[in-house]
Amino acid sequence: MENLKKKIQIAVNKFKSGNLLEAEKLSETLIKSNPKIVFLYNLLGLISASLKKIDRAFKYYRDGIKIDPNDPNIYNNIGALLFNNRYKNNIKQIEFNYKKSILLNNNNPEAYNNLGNFYKSLNKNEEAINCYKKASELNPKFHFALFNLASLYVSCGKINEARIELLKVIEIVPNYMLAHRLLSRITNYNNENEHFKLLNKLHNQIDSKDEYNKMLLSFSLAKAFEDIKNFDKSFKFYKEANELSRKKITFSTNTEKFKFDKIKESFTLDVFSKYEDCGYKDFSPIFIVGMPRSGTTLIEQIISSHTDVFGCDEVEFIPEIINNNVKKLNSLFSNLLLSSDSEKNEFNKMGKDYIYRVNKLTNFSKRSTDKLPTNFLAIGFIKLILPKSKIIHCYRNPKDNCMSIYKNYFTSGKINFSHNLNEIVEYYNFYNNLMNFWKDLIPDFIFHIKYEDVVKDTETQVRKLLKKCDLKCLSI
């Protein structure tokens, strides 16, 4: 038994160090001779998930449940697997598995933290806060739960509460740069600020090879120096942070130009004439599009505060539906002869698919917002599959928009043009040209709203916005 424990620990160590294939091979050997050890099913499930072998991960977890249906870790792992890979279509199953794990072991802070992340994704902020608090009560040193709580507090505008939690995180893990980065965002620095002094000290000490943490630290210092109006040093650190980020990213403006040109070639007056009156005639979706940092979050907050509207935040439904139907769409757009009813029905199916996904997320709310900014690429597609939906295009001063993108670190890993000013400007021009293209092609389908106008005259702009969305103006 002692020898088995050592072998299992070797497999665990290989998994933790990132040697996934070796960890998988060793664990598979161990499970063949020890098929009743549930821990091995959990371990192989985690390894398979890390290797993106999602179906195999589910199989290991299901097999583990057959051995021990009361193992709380398996249910927690299934919930995490669903959340990270199939989340949008499995809301009830995610919640069930996390709660089942907690029911079997209500002293596991990780399960509460995971459930909190799930609730946060649904904008159930109070439920999420309670879960994070419970996780940190069970383990006051569990810095992930404290950091997640702080992040949610920032989103809710509870800055003082967020600062308290972030200072706890930094006390537990002094070099946790994500916490320093978030704290820098909510701090108004002066030369005597203690955190400012700490950031400078950390920057002098950090290993130059630790590029990820150095990047986060540089963004933090850039913000701090901007606050004290030392703009030369601020830009120096923004440049350093973005250059470190850019090194790890594959991005080509030529590839982007080809993509934008292809969109403009595919959507023509002939296409919209051919597929006139097609699509699913549901009026509930409100798409909020634009460049990052253009005010899309503010607009969604305004619209989703209406009692009839559920804010879905940034969901990938439109890109997923396009990716799932690429061959079909290429076939439809390549033939500009008279369309058949069967062809029109394809767009109807895609529209229904979108509404089905939204309803599972919103529990059949009357209206919903979809705030994925890059859906501006798919405005023509949205027009074909959901012709009764609303498109709200947010824009702001181009220079401010581009600089704001450069000064922010985007954790999604999908905004790959954001680390070089020249590339940001080029991408902005691609976007602007495409929006002008949509404006000329389908002008009545898009409502344009300028961020600066909303800030300057909120009431007037909100009334216009709600009217365009066919929402009753209750009070402002």
pLDDT in tens, 94-113: 999 999 999 999 999 999 99
Residue 102 to residue 138: CA distance in whole angstroms: 12
Residue 205 to residue 213: CA distance in whole angstroms: 12
- Report pLDDT for 95: 94
What are 210-267's pLDDT values in tens digits?
Answer: 999 999 999 999 999 999 999 999 999 999 999 999 998 989 999 999 999 999 999 9
- Length of the chain measured in residues: 476
pLDDT exceeds cutoff 70 at 1: no
What percent of the chain stands above pLDDT 70?
96
Q: What are phi and psi of 426, to 5 degrees?
A: -60, -45
The pair of structure tokens assigned to 239 is 């440049």
Q: Of 257, 311, 297, 312, nearest to 431 (Cα)?
A: 257
**DSSP secondary structure string for all residues of 241-289:** HHHHHHTT----HHHHHHHHHHHHHH--HHHHHHTTT-S-----EEEEE
What percent of the chain stands above pLDDT 90?
82
H-type alpha helices, 363-409: 379-385, 398-406
Residue 412 to residue 393: CA distance in whole angstroms: 21
What are 174-221's pLDDT values in tens digits?
Answer: 999 999 999 999 999 999 999 999 999 999 999 888 999 999 999 999
- Report pLDDT for 89: 59
CB atoms within 10 A of CB 21: 10
Residue 286 to residue 468: CA distance in whole angstroms: 10
The pair of structure tokens assigned to 259 is 């993509």
Q: Are 205 and 177 contacting, i.e. CB atoms less than 8 angstroms apart?
A: no
pLDDT band for 404, please (50, 70, 90 cuts). Answer: very high
- Report pLDDT for 475: 57
pLDDT band for 19, please (50, 70, 90 cuts). Answer: very high
**Does the residue 456 lie in any domain?**
yes
**Does the residue 249 lie in any domain?**
no
- Report pLDDT for 418: 95
pLDDT exceeds cutoff 60 at 338: no
**Does the residue 16 lie in any domain?**
no
Residue 431: which residues within 8 A CB-CB, separation 6 or more? 291, 376
Residue 203 to residue 249: CA distance in whole angstroms: 23
For residue 437, give the CATH number of its domain: 3.40.50.300
- Report pLDDT for 337: 53
pLDDT exceeds cutoff 60 at 421: yes
**Does the residue 364 lie in any domain?**
yes
- Report pLDDT for 86: 57
- Report pLDDT for 94: 93
Domain housing 409: 268-468
pLDDT exceeds cutoff 70 at 411: yes
pLDDT exceeds cutoff 90 at 413: no
- Report pLDDT for 92: 86
pLDDT band for 27, please (50, 70, 90 cuts). Answer: very high
Pairing between β-strand 285-290 and β-strand 367-370 as defined by DSSP bridges: parallel
- Report pLDDT for 476: 52
Residue 13: which residues within 8 A CB-CB, separation 6 or more? none
**Does the residue 460 lie in any domain?**
yes
Q: In what order do the strands lie in the sheet with 285-290?
A: 309-311, 367-370, 285-290, 390-395, 446-450
**Does the residue 50 lie in any domain?**
no
3-state secondary structure of 395: strand
Provide mean pLDDT across the span 422-444: 97
Q: Of 36, 40, 35, nearest to 7 (Cα)?
A: 40
Domain count, the chain: 1
Mean pLDDT, the chain, rounded, equals 93
Q: How far is CA 205 from CA 166, 189, 209, 272, 342, in A?
A: 21, 21, 12, 60, 65
